[in-house]
A and B are shown apart, each in its own frame.
Chain A
């Protein structure tokens, strides 16, 4: 286990992996599902496929957050990127409804 002095770093990484990963995955599902509906797919099909891509994206971010050299990038991509993806989802929805 990393030494005592590294504990805040460990906490930050675990938080990035779980919270950042979740935010990013949410964005992926929102964008993915809304775009697939826009492309003519049934809502529940799009929801399912979007969730699958979202879960796999979560897994990817999770691993990356632990391994990344700079944690700052992880936060940047997950929070800003995830937010942008979620906003895209809402935007696509507003075009369709």
Chain B
């Protein structure tokens, strides 16, 4: 089909890049925002604008909160088809209670799993989750949409298309295509390098777009490659190559059995009732042991398994605040007596590599400069793809205009939608977050509708204004949506001020960076889009003058 390898790579780069570039754009952009997901949550839920807290006392705070938890009616209804017979009124047999926190979390997420009598798969538990104020255990509104960790973050890896995990597979394929685009881009690059020395005055603008595309692609090449690869690996065993649950499940079960035997951590309940010793004492002992190993640290994850049973145990995991690898160094205690069962041994070399690669992607460590570099890397990826779109359109639009083809026009409208439209949708959900009444039922759903609604409007606008592209000119929607971003950005920051009183001077003087940072980042985005709008206007005027001049010359 192709004359040469390089031609094949160019084809792959162009067409796969175009089709899945729309998905990659979202993955990069929302990935960059997810680096500060907890901070965006604080912005979106003003009642949680407090300092991060360590894991609270189990006996004083966690236990009463866990005891209050029950699955929601929604979860019960969803479970019904997988149960023989009726669902019980209350779920009392606890499979696990767990609490998870990081050095950036002022609120604490609690999870509880319960056995379901007569479940078709007896291993399947029903789950409940809640959010509490770790200082005193007060339940916080759990139905509020955590826009950062509960919406932008899932957008990053699944586009929130949950049906059959479709979104996760689309993003996975896009990540693979990202890897292929990087390899094929490098193969093409050799030729581009030669073309740098070719004088093409008439194509100057095209070349500057290409330069930016190459720059953002090449400068951050290791970043792009590793994030696409580690992103795939994080989901590989669960979704993309689930051999452990399918083809190799016998090996997996064998491993689970051996592990339960070796570690002494029972896989199932014994059926003999037993009490619960003081968990705070176990946590204190775990912290003492970490300190003795020169790894003093905070608790990141606390899990109680098979509660109320002789086989129950408590696992205490250390937060990965000071290193790239995730939570680890688990220490396990017998729940009924508090005696030590086991300390996790040091990870194997492969285990260390896995922890490092996934930790590198999920960044739980405390290092603000590095976090910002992640944001820049993600935005560089978004710029790389956006300039790819622009290059695709600019290269073809005059030719398409002559042939009467609509191809460039359609691609350009979609590019407007995914570049400026996506930013507008992101600001749209924040506007809705501040404007919707506090006690509106299903408030989070309305916020999501605002996101998709804004995006749909941006798409309509880009399409309606796209006619000039078919004549070889620029789509004014680019410029107009840049202005809209600026207006939205200022409104979002102003609304935050009006509805919470937290204006920038207040948050900055208080040093409350989660909210100040979000506000400043939004204003910076607004400023950039104003600059872009001015530039686009100047360019449109120049193009208009050139056209007028050439028409005059043709008439003379």
Q: Cβ of A93 and Cβ of B251 under 8 Å apart? A: yes
Q: Which of B2, B237, B254 contacts A51 (CB 8 A)?
A: B237
Residues on the A chain within 8 Å of B85, using CB: none
Residues on the A chain within 8 Å of B240, using CB: 51, 55
Q: Cβ of A51 and Cβ of B233 under 8 Å apart? A: yes
Q: Cβ of A9 and Cβ of B243 under 8 Å apart? A: no
Q: Cβ of B236 and Cβ of A42 under 8 Å apart? A: no
| Given contact pairs A42-B348, A59-B179, A93-B248, A47 touches B243 in the complex (Cβ within 8 A) | yes
A37, closest chain B residue (CB): B251
The interface bits of chain A over 8-41 (1 if a CB of B lies within 8 angstroms of the residue's CB, else 0) are 0110010000100000011001100110010001
**How far apart sit A90 and B248, CA to CA, in the bound complex (Å)?**
7
Task: Tell me if B363 is interfacial: C-beta within 8 Å of chain A.
Answer: no
Residues on the A chain within 8 Å of B350, using CB: 41-42, 45-46, 48-49
Task: Tell me if B119 is interfacial: C-beta within 8 Å of chain A.
Answer: no
Q: Cβ of B251 and Cβ of A67 under 8 Å apart? A: no
The interface bits of chain B over 147-181 (1 if a CB of A lies within 8 angstroms of the residue's CB, else 0) are 00000000000000000000000000100100110
Q: How far is the CB of B420 from chain A (nearest CB, A)?
A: 26
**How far apart sit A65 and B413, CA to CA, in the bound complex (Å)?**
31
The interface bits of chain B over 399-415 (1 if a CB of A lies within 8 angstroms of the residue's CB, else 0) are 00000000000000000
Q: How far is the CB of A95 from chain B (nearest CB, A)?
A: 11
| Given contact pairs A26-B241, A63-B184, A86-B247, A52 touches B233 in the complex (Cβ within 8 A) | yes
**How far apart sit A66 and B11, CA to CA, in the bound complex (Å)?**
9
Residues on the B chain within 8 Å of A54, using CB: 236, 241
**How far apart sit A41 and B353, CA to CA, in the bound complex (Å)?**
14
Q: Cβ of B237 and Cβ of A30 under 8 Å apart? A: no
B229, closest chain A residue (CB): A55
- Looking at B1, B173, B184, B240, the one whose CB has the most chain A CB atoms below 10 A away is B1
A13, closest chain B residue (CB): B1
Q: Which of A37, A66, A96 contacts B12 (CB 8 A)?
A: A66
Task: Tell me if B372 is interfacial: C-beta within 8 Å of chain A.
Answer: no
Interface size bracket, A side: 35 or more
Residues on the A chain within 8 Å of B250, using CB: 93, 97
Q: How far is the CB of A28 from chain B (nearest CB, A)?
A: 9
Q: Cβ of B1 and Cβ of A6 under 8 Å apart? A: yes
The interface bits of chain A over 55-97 (1 if a CB of B lies within 8 angstroms of the residue's CB, else 0) are 1001100110011000000000000000000100110010011
B1-54 at interface with A (beta carbon < 8 Å): 1-2, 5, 8-9, 11-12, 15
The interface bits of chain B over 246-270 (1 if a CB of A lies within 8 angstroms of the residue's CB, else 0) are 0110111011000000000000000
A51, closest chain B residue (CB): B236
| Given contact pairs A41-B350, A45-B354, A67-B9, A55 touches B236 in the complex (Cβ within 8 A) | yes
Q: Cβ of B176 and Cβ of A58 under 8 Å apart? A: yes
Q: How far is the CB of B523 from chain A (nearest CB, A)?
A: 40
Q: Cβ of A44 and Cβ of B255 under 8 Å apart? A: yes
Task: Tell me if B139 is interfacial: C-beta within 8 Å of chain A.
Answer: no
Residues on the A chain within 8 Å of B511, using CB: none
**How far apart sit A52 and B251, CA to CA, in the bound complex (Å)?**
19
Given contacts A10-B1, A55-B240, A58-B176, 20 further A-B contacts (CB under 8 A): A1-B15, A6-B1, A30-B247, A43-B252, A44-B255, A44-B351, A45-B348, A49-B350, A54-B241, A55-B229, A55-B232, A55-B236, A62-B176, A63-B184, A89-B247, A90-B247, A93-B247, A93-B248, A93-B250, A96-B251
Between-chain CB contacts (< 8 Å), 26 pairs: A9-B1, A26-B243, A30-B248, A42-B348, A43-B244, A43-B251, A43-B255, A44-B351, A44-B354, A45-B350, A45-B351, A47-B244, A49-B350, A52-B233, A54-B241, A59-B176, A59-B180, A63-B12, A67-B2, A67-B9, A89-B248, A93-B250, A96-B251, A96-B254, A97-B250, A97-B254
Interface residues of B (CB under 8 A from A): 1-2, 5, 8-9, 11-12, 15, 173, 176, 179-180, 183-184, 229, 232-233, 236-237, 240-241, 243-244, 247-248, 250-252, 254-255, 348, 350-351, 353-354
Closest 8 CB pairs of A and B: A43-B255, A51-B236, A67-B8, A45-B350, A48-B354, A97-B250, A29-B241, A66-B12
